[in-house]
Amino acid sequence: MALICRLCLALVAVAALAGLPLVAHAQGLGLKRYRDHALLADGTTLFCGFQQHLVLLDTKDLDRPVVLARMPFGHDITSIKKCRGYLLAGTMGGGIVVCDTADVSNIRQVSLFSELSDIYGMDVRGNSVAVALGVRGFAEVDASDMENLRVSAIVNTPGEACDVVFCAGRMLVADGSGGLHVADRATPGQWTIRHSVPSKDASLRVAVAGGSLVLLSDRTSLRLFEFADEPIVLREAGAYQSQRLSAVFVDLWPEGPLAYVAAHMGGLEVVDCSRPASPQPAFACAFSAEAAAVAVGDDRAFVLLKNGDIVVFDISDPRRPRQLAIINIDRLPVLRVERF
């Protein structure tokens, strides 16, 4: 009897182990925990996704910054993009909120697109919005009518799609454990993955610098790719490994030959990518809280921390950033609170 019990337990254990990959694919790696803040700089106006609020800040006068508006969303804001005078705010669980920002002192909601609920990342080209959907893959959304966004295509991926960017008519998808994909438009409304690069850890963010250099945040490293002779094939040119043990590259912003990287508990890291084969550290700064998002506008770099601080740097000399101010969102006067 004891032998039979042991055999039964062994069979249960084997079955459980065999099911782990399926569970992992169904639930993803839980990478959405890195998707709870967003930041966009339009000159000295900042659009911040912070604590389930969209916050607009005027930072022209750093001695007297002002919150122009604060709008509760009820969901974490994961991505903020501009599209033809409108603002698209992707959320985790609430889809895409479209706002009219022609007058930043009087922002108003135009529509809510909830057909796709969990938005990990977005990019915009013309009337097309590329959307990363986590375990659901990635999608193209038609934004020709801002009051009525509609899905053009959805493509499944093997991992957890965390970010997506347009590049030369194609999409580049950072797919968590699934690596980096190059997707091509086969026909209108149909996208096909044509090339993939394996992940070394977890592909979190992807960006394009200078029109051709592809930057991939692979959790603790920044990997650089160039297109090979075939226009859909990526060749790894080099990589930069953070020297901070607690660093996770949760957000990145390319600006010229430099990549500004929000490294979570590792603070801000600026990487010189002018020589893709050997990217070099150009600047690093630690903070009192986790760095959640980074953006660049004019000659300033902005880093949003999870405690509500925004650290502002002067980058008129890009390789020698100079800290100008620390602004706390919760301590500023608010001109207007919107109720959507």
Instruction: Per residue of the chain (340 residues), give pLDDT as tens.
Output: 454 444 343 433 333 333 333 333 334 457 777 888 999 999 999 999 998 999 999 999 999 999 999 999 999 999 999 999 899 999 999 999 999 988 877 889 999 999 999 999 999 999 999 999 999 999 999 999 999 999 999 999 999 999 999 998 999 999 999 999 999 998 888 999 999 999 999 999 999 998 889 999 998 899 999 998 777 899 999 999 987 767 899 999 999 899 999 999 999 999 999 999 999 999 999 999 999 999 999 899 999 999 999 999 999 998 889 999 999 998 887 765 555 4
Residue type, 184: D
What is the spatial distance between Cα 131 and Cα 96, in angstroms, rounded to a whole number? 10
Contact 76, 64 (CB under 8 A): no
pTM of the model: 0.88
Sheet containing 38-42: which strands, arranged edge to edge? 38-42, 45-50, 53-58, 66-72
- The backbone region for 122, taken as left when phi is positive above 0, alpha when psi lies in -120 to 50, beta otherwise, is beta
Q: Kind of pairing, strands 213-217 and 205-209? A: antiparallel
What is the spatial distance between Cα 242 and Cα 106, in angstroms, rounded to a whole number? 42
- Contacting residues for 23 by C-beta, under 8 A, at least 6 apart: none
pLDDT for 245 equals 65
Domains with residue ranges and CATH for the chain: 114-331 (2.130.10.10)
Residue 239: count other Cβ atoms within 10 Å of its Cβ.
17
Residue 281 β-bridge partners:
271
What is the spatial distance between Cα 189 and Cα 153, in angstroms, rounded to a whole number? 5
Contact 223, 236 (CB under 8 A): yes
Contact 206, 247 (CB under 8 A): no
Contact 142, 98 (CB under 8 A): no
What is the spatial distance between Cα 168 and Cα 154, in angstroms, rounded to a whole number? 20
Question: How are the residues of the chain apportioned to helix, strand and coil, as percentages rounded to the nearest 5?
Answer: 10, 55, 35
